[in-house]
């Protein structure tokens, strides 16, 4: 975006010998990209920063001023520039984490198929997509098993009756996904995927579509803002599909 020198912003941000505020850098970058000439003021010490906060009656830095009026911090600046909606219109829920996982796993599966077979349109690429998705989703849960298991207890039927299942689940999902990706020990991976997928699907159906509860999905970890519903149901249905297909394939020889 071309810079308009008639647009000027005053930015106060922390730039200390041992710390440069990342939000200050992001604010400066945003202002410059949106055509502002930035009058960049560095707060070089903690005392200087605290004095600035007291003077302007603010709790945080950076702070941006445009046309003599205080815009606020980095989040306020994004709203001012029209990047984000006003705070009262912002939603706490987001599908971005799980969309990112599914997209990356799909591309990985296509890449593996191209490397192995010279084409991307194979049944194996579909199986790799599902098994890789299971594995990456398990990684998200394994980052904080305690937090995941707490959120999981809100809706999983088996975990409600046997609490340790909430901590076992991510390991089972990871094991099944890894074995399915490798195409080994199907007699282990298929039953595990079928078991946890079936219980998960029934649990989601009951919580969301029968009981009409509005819950957060633990599918991408315990700090997720993904709503419980279609995404979690899809994860479980994929596990059921993989368990059935690989199990039948193993039985058929």
Do both 14 and 102 map to the same domain?
no
With the CA atoms of 62, 64, 68 and 70 taken in that order, what torsion angle do they form, in degrees rounded to the nearest 10? -80
Q: pLDDT tens digits, residue range 34-76? A: 999 999 999 999 999 999 999 999 999 999 999 999 999 999 9
Q: What are phi and psi of 40, to 5 degrees?
A: -95, 110
Closest CA to 240 of 214, 211, 205: 205
Do both 62 and 109 map to the same domain?
no
- Is 159 a residue whose pLDDT tops 90? yes
- Is 89 a residue whose pLDDT tops 90? no
Q: pLDDT tens digits, residue range 113-126? A: 999 999 988 889 99
Do both 84 and 128 map to the same domain?
no
Q: What are phi and psi of 121, to 5 degrees?
A: -90, 75
* CATH number of the domain encompassing residue 15: 3.40.30.10
Do both 106 and 171 map to the same domain?
yes
Do both 115 and 239 map to the same domain?
yes
Last residue of a domain, one of 73, 89, 105: 89
- The mean pLDDT value for 79-93 works out to 81
Helix, strand, coil shares, percent, the chain, to 5: 60, 10, 30
Whether 3 is covered by a domain: the verdict is: no
Give the length of the chain: 253
| pLDDT category of residue 4 using cuts at 50, 70 and 90 | very low
Do both 235 and 112 map to the same domain?
yes
Whether 2 is covered by a domain: the verdict is: no
Do both 77 and 43 map to the same domain?
yes
| pLDDT category of residue 253 using cuts at 50, 70 and 90 | low
Do both 67 and 127 map to the same domain?
no
Do both 84 and 108 map to the same domain?
no
d(CA 225, CA 149): 15
Tracing tokens 């298991």 back to the chain, one arrives at: 149
pLDDT at 222: 61
Whether 193 is covered by a domain: the verdict is: yes
* Whole-number average pLDDT of the chain: 90
pLDDT at 3: 43
> pTM here?
0.79
Last residue of a domain, one of 89, 120, 154: 89
Whether 184 is covered by a domain: the verdict is: yes
Range of the domain at 20: 8-89
Do both 61 and 21 map to the same domain?
yes
- The mean pLDDT value for 181-185 works out to 92
d(CA 237, CA 241): 6
C-alpha 82, offset from chain centre: 23
Strands 8-16 and 19-20 come out as antiparallel
Q: pLDDT tens digits, residue range 184-229? A: 999 999 999 999 999 999 999 999 999 998 888 887 776 777 777 8
pLDDT at 235: 85
- Count of domains forming the chain: 2
Do both 100 and 82 map to the same domain?
no
User: pLDDT over 90 for what percent of the chain?
Assistant: 70
Last residue of a domain, one of 58, 89, 120: 89
């Amino acid at each position: 975006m071309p810079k308009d020198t008639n647009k000027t912003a005053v930015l106060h941000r922390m730039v200390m010998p041992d710390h440069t505020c990342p939000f200050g850098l992001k604010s400066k970058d945003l202002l410059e990209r949106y055509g502002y000439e930035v009058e960049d003021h560095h707060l070089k010490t903690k005392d200087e920063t605290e004095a600035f906060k007291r003077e302007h009656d603010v709790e945080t830095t950076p702070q941006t001023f445009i046309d003599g009026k205080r815009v606020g911090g980095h989040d306020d600046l994004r709203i001012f520039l029209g990047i984000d909606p006003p705070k009262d219109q912002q939603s706490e829920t987001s599908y971005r984490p799980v969309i990112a996982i599914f997209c990356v796993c799909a591309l990985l599966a296509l890449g593996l198929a191209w490397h192995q077979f010279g084409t991307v349109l194979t049944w194996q690429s579909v199986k790799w997509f599902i098994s890789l998705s299971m594995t990456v989703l398990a990684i998200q849960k394994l980052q904080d098993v305690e937090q995941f298991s707490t959120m999981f207890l809100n809706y999983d039927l088996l975990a409600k009756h046997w609490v340790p299942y909430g901590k076992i689940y991510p390991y089972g999902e990871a094991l099944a996904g890894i074995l399915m990706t490798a195409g080994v020990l199907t007699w282990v991976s298929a039953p595990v995927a079928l078991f946890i997928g079936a219980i998960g699907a029934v649990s989601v159906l009951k919580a969301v579509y029968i009981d009409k509860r509005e819950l957060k999905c633990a599918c991408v970890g315990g700090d997720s803002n993904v709503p419980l519903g279609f995404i979690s149901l899809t994860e479980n249905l994929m596990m059921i599909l993989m368990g059935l297909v690989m199990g039948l394939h193993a039985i058929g020889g």
